[in-house]
Amino acid sequence: MQSQTRQRKSRRVLVADDNADSADLLGMYLQLQDFEVAVAHDGSEAISVAQDFRPTIVVCDLRMPRMDGIAVAKALRSDRRRYYLIALTSLEPDDVPEHRDLFEAYFTKPADLDALVNRLELLSSLAVRADAQRGVRAATIRPRAGTDDAGGRTTG
């Protein structure tokens, strides 16, 4: 049961694009591919939605009003949560070389949807493995029964 919960959470995708039609259509397509999807239409909304929706993967346009995709990526990278970030933009990779390291993948519009879904599947499976490893580590460092958090004996 825990494995299914991890898999479900790993399939949460936030699509952020100021072109509402493109964002909504991509969101619907990803839902048909069995992803749980939220959509934002500008960078500020993307940050707000990410805090509430808690996606594993964010597919983000780089040119958006109020906050561009680079600022969104930097803000999400500074968060304690782990996000996998995918740039989906009309910009060529060479147009933003100093920001390529913010993203796990870079797709130029119009994106090959099969390739995008394949990358989402890969990142989703990586998230499941990383989550399982964190769970194993947490289980191994829990205090034993009858001890306090520091490993000392309890008095009561």
> Average pLDDT, stretch 107-136?
85
pLDDT at 90: 87
Mean pLDDT check: name the lowest of 8-22, 25-39, 72-86, 92-106: 92-106
- Are 13 and 57 in contact by the 8 Å Cβ rule? The answer is yes
pLDDT tens sequence across 39-63: 999 999 999 999 999 999 999 999 8
The domains located in the chain, with CATH, are 2-141 (3.40.50.2300)
Q: Is 15 a residue whose pLDDT tops 60?
A: yes
Residue 136 above 50 pLDDT?
no
Residue 35 has pLDDT above 90, yes or no: yes
CA distances 124 to 101, 118, 155, Å, are 19, 10, 45
pLDDT band at 89 (very low <50, low <70, confident <90, very high): confident
Q: What is the pLDDT of residue 151?
A: 42
> Taking 50 as the threshold, does the pLDDT of residue 150 lie above it?
no
Residue 9: its pLDDT value, please? 58
What pLDDT does residue 97 have? 67
Contacts 24+ apart (CB under 8 A), 130-137: 130/82, 131/6, 131/9, 131/10, 132/3, 132/6, 135/2
Give the per-residue pLDDT at 135: 54
Given pLDDT bands bounded at 50, 70 and 90, which one contains residue 19? very high
Mean of all residue pLDDT scores within the chain: 81
